[in-house]
Amino acid sequence: MSPRRANEQERKRAPSQRSLRGLDGLNFLLADVRDGLGPYLAVFLKAEQHWSPGAIGIAMAASSIATAFCQIPAGLLVDSLRFKRLLVAVSGLLVAAGCLLVAFHPQLAAVVAAQVTLGAASAVIPPALAALSLGLVGHRRLDARISRNESFNHGGNFIAAGMAGSLGYTLGYDWIFYLVCFFAVASAAVVNLINPAEIDHELARGGEERDTNGQFMAPLSVRELFARKDLVIFLISVVLFHFGNAAMLPMAGQVLAQTHPGSDTIALSACIIAAQLIMVGALRGRWARRWRLALAGSLFFWLPWPRCRYAAFCFHSSRILTALFAIQLLDGVAAGIFGVIAVVIASDLMRGTGRFNLAQGLVRFASA
């Protein structure tokens, strides 16, 4: 199919408002679900269960390792399967089951098993949401759609962090787990708002090339994919960026549990809320495609340095709360920009290859 004909077909795509609202709702509700328990687990295990730092590290690492190893299979799965709505619903329910397991059985074996489940499920959700977005609106409107997705995602994180802090402070840490379960079950219901007939599954995996018989061409093999220098260079850039901009919030959660007992969840939630507010306005979709390379270059160059330097200076001082707040504001800028341009660049690089979601899995693996 010629690019001109593909663009003409995309202009005619008009998904219903019901499906688009369903996508909005999914991004809002899954904001707290896709990251599992996050830094709250470290606070819960340290302050409520009195776990040692080593055991907490094992529990936190289990989720991270499972997520990292499941990223590429998750991308292949989303590319291959047509029932993407069911994938999202099942992943959300698995997160809910893992949270309940941690809440009712906070022993090391059970928590590690739950964290592995949470990590595997959370690896499926982002590429599935991006695939649904591309399958509904097409490449031409994807940048604006991803920007809208990120706004609802960070708005959901903002609401969830406020509720988690309030519930954890007033009713106990267990209610944070129940909150995640509520959002997960609600997302499984909201996914039904998306009309499956409006999803172009071939387009959803980045495939739009047809052979002489009018049939869609087979997706690129993994070997052919890694032969693309543009993708390899982008993945290397992502790895280097995340080496310098690694997540510091779980470690800070343990420090807060020791230095500010009783107010740790409130302080942690305030930092998350501040970051989410920055993320919502960090980048508009129309700039994502026009300035994607310039934004990526500037983001990779200047942001990790002040964030890590400030953290190293303040984590061992009395100004831990000030340091954590500033670090999260910088992280909000990074996540707001990166969350949009990573998907937009992946869609541009993989257009016509049928490997859009596999490329997302590779990017997230590089980010792990």
Segment 68-91, tens digit of pLDDT: 899 999 999 999 888 899 999 999
Q: Encode pLDDT of 99-132 as tens digits.
A: 889 888 889 999 999 999 988 998 999 999 999 9
Q: Give the C-alpha distances (Å, rounded to integers) separating 321 from 27, 158, 308.
A: 30, 19, 15
Category of 171 on φ-ψ map: left (φ > 0), alpha (ψ -120 to 50) or beta = alpha
Q: Encode pLDDT of 163-189 as tens digits.
A: 887 887 788 878 888 888 889 889 989
Helix (H, G, I), strand (E, B) or coil at 204: helix
Category of 13 on φ-ψ map: left (φ > 0), alpha (ψ -120 to 50) or beta = beta
pTM metric for this prediction: 0.78
Cβ atoms of 117 and 59 closer than 8 Å: no
CA 305/CA 310 separation, integer angstroms: 9
Read off the amino acid at residue 158.
F
When pLDDT is cut at 50, 70 and 90, the band that residue 328 belongs to is low
Residue where the block lists tokens 């047509």 = 82
Specify the CATH number of the domain 17-208+218-367.
1.20.1250.20
163, 187, 180, 150: which is closest to 341 by C-alpha?
150
CA 232/CA 67 separation, integer angstroms: 21
From 89-93, 198-202, 307-311, 335-339, the region with the lowest mean pLDDT: 307-311
32, 78, 313: which is closest to 205 by C-alpha?
78
Q: Between 223 and 299, where is the model more confident?
A: 223
Q: Between 368 and 204, where is the model more confident?
A: 204
Tell me the average pLDDT across 260-282: 61
Q: At what angle do helices 292-302 and 320-349 cross, to 10 degrees?
A: 150
CA 210/CA 1 separation, integer angstroms: 6
Given a cut of 80, whether residue 211 has pLDDT beyond it is no
Give me the residues paired with residue 210 across strands: 216
Domain ranges of the chain: 17-208+218-367
Residue where the block lists tokens 């302050």 = 47
Q: 268: which residues sit within 8 A by CB, 6+ positions away?
A: 39, 40, 43, 165, 249, 252, 253, 256
- Report the chain's C-alpha Rg in angstroms: 20
Cβ atoms of 102 and 177 closer than 8 Å: yes
Given a cut of 50, whether residue 285 has pLDDT beyond it is no
Helix (H, G, I), strand (E, B) or coil at 13: coil
Share of residues in the chain with pLDDT > 90 (%): 19
216 backbone dihedrals φ, ψ, rounded to 5°: -65, 140
